[in-house]
């Protein structure tokens, strides 16, 4: 069994990956964390065979954490950014998984890990990887998400963000609303606020993000409450929290 440690600041991403790894029957998850600072001493103590590592995390990036680990386990990066994959992962013996992670992607990564563990493939050149990361950072910021995945059973549907009027939280789930229907997505509103282009989506409430292109009007209701009305078929109305009114008005040029 491959001994794995999972580190990702998104709890849902950790749970999904743990579930996928368990289903393979080939991996034992010996630890999982969402905080890189807390994870660092555990990784050094447990010395897993492979570390599934997110890149963009508050407090410490995946690459910063990697530079502090000695000895280093095999690394499989998990990222939502294609730009990182293209620019920072050209080292043949290092693998990466683009979120949302699928079973086929994971199978490819595990096969590579097993080849390295069994001595059939050379271990990654971490210094070369870090050099490529530095070059990628200097070249510019990552691209934002263009589509979001919605999983229903064994089926995954990709929803174009251009068609999403807003994201909202409800019943302990996060939904992407379009004119046709609403889709369950495996991100929190806070996660989406980091991953979506701030020029296209604005957070109007702790439980809602709105596509600026679908905002029809902003008006004040009784009691000083500010509402947004969308130009969708339902003429959806969403309350703007008091602490976000100024930001929303700025984004709309009001």
Quick one: pLDDT at residue 91?
A: 38
Q: Rounded to the nearest 5°, which phi and psi values hold at 177?
A: -95, 130
Quick one: pLDDT at residue 90?
A: 44
Domain range annotation of the chain:
2-139, 160-251
Mean pLDDT, the chain, integer: 84
pLDDT digits (tens, 9 = 90+) for 15-24: 999 999 999 9
Q: Is 185 helix (H, G, I), strand (E, B) or coil?
A: strand
CB atoms within 10 A of CB 138: 8
Give mean pLDDT, residues 195-218: 91
Question: Residue 33, class by beta-carbon neighbours within 10 Å (0-12 exposed, 13-18 middle, 19+ buried)?
Answer: middle
Q: Rounded to the nearest 5°, which phi and psi values hold at 122?
A: -65, 150
pLDDT digits (tens, 9 = 90+) for 157-169: 889 999 999 999 9
> Would you say 46 and 38 are in contact if contact means Cβ atoms under 8 Å apart?
no
The topology under which CATH files domain 160-251 is OB fold (Dihydrolipoamide Acetyltransferase, E2P) (2.40.50)
Of 62-71, 132-141, 142-151, the range with the lowest mean pLDDT is 132-141
CB atoms within 10 A of CB 148: 23
Quick one: pLDDT at residue 163?
A: 95
pLDDT digits (tens, 9 = 90+) for 207-238: 999 999 999 999 887 777 899 999 988 899 99
Banded model confidence at residue 141, pLDDT cuts 50, 70, 90: low
Banded model confidence at residue 246, pLDDT cuts 50, 70, 90: confident
- pLDDT at residue 183 is higher than 80: yes
- pLDDT at residue 32 is higher than 90: yes
% of the chain with per-residue pLDDT over 90: 38
- pLDDT at residue 70 is higher than 50: yes
The Cα–Cα gap between 221 and 195 comes to: 31
Rank 2-16, 54-68, 71-85 by mean pLDDT and report only the highest: 2-16
The better pLDDT of the pair 24, 118 is held by 24
User: Which CATH homologous superfamily contains domain 2-139?
Assistant: Response regulator (3.40.50.2300)
- pLDDT at residue 46 is higher than 80: yes
Banded model confidence at residue 172, pLDDT cuts 50, 70, 90: confident
Q: Rounded to the nearest 5°, which phi and psi values hold at 34?
A: -110, -5
- pLDDT at residue 86 is higher than 50: no
Banded model confidence at residue 173, pLDDT cuts 50, 70, 90: very high
Q: Is 35 helix (H, G, I), strand (E, B) or coil?
A: coil
Q: Which two tokens stand for residue 212?
A: 């600026």
Quick one: pLDDT at residue 24?
A: 94
């Amino acid at each position: 069994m491959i001994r794995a440690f999972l580190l990702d600041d998104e709890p849902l991403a950790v749970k999904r990956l743990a579930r996928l790894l368990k289903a393979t029957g080939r991996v034992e998850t010996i630890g999982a964390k969402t905080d890189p600072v807390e994870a660092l001493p555990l990784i050094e103590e447990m010395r897993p065979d492979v570390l599934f590592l997110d890149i963009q995390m508050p407090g410490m990036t995946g690459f910063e954490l990697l530079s502090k680990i000695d000895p280093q386990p095999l690394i499989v990066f998990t990222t939502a950014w294609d730009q990182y994959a293209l620019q920072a992962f050209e080292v043949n013996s290092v693998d990466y998984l683009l979120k949302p992670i699928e079973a086929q992607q994971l199978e490819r990564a595990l096969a590579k890990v097993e080849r390295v563990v069994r001595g059939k493939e050379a271990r990654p050149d971490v210094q070369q990887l870090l050099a490529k990361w530095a070059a990628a950072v200097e070249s510019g910021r990552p691209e934002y998400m263009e589509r979001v995945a919605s999983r229903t059973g064994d089926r995954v549907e990709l929803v174009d963000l251009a068609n999403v009027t807003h994201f909202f939280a409800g019943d302990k789930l996060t939904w992407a609303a379009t004119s046709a229907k609403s889709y369950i997505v495996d991100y929190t509103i806070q996660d989406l606020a980091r991953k979506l282009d701030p020029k296209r989506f604005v957070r109007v409430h702790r439980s809602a993000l709105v596509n600026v292109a679908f905002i029809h009007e902003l008006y004040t209701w009784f009691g000083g409450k500010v509402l947004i009305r969308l130009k969708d078929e339902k003429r959806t109305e969403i309350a703007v929290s008091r602490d976000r009114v100024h930001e929303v008005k700025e984004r709309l040029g009001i």
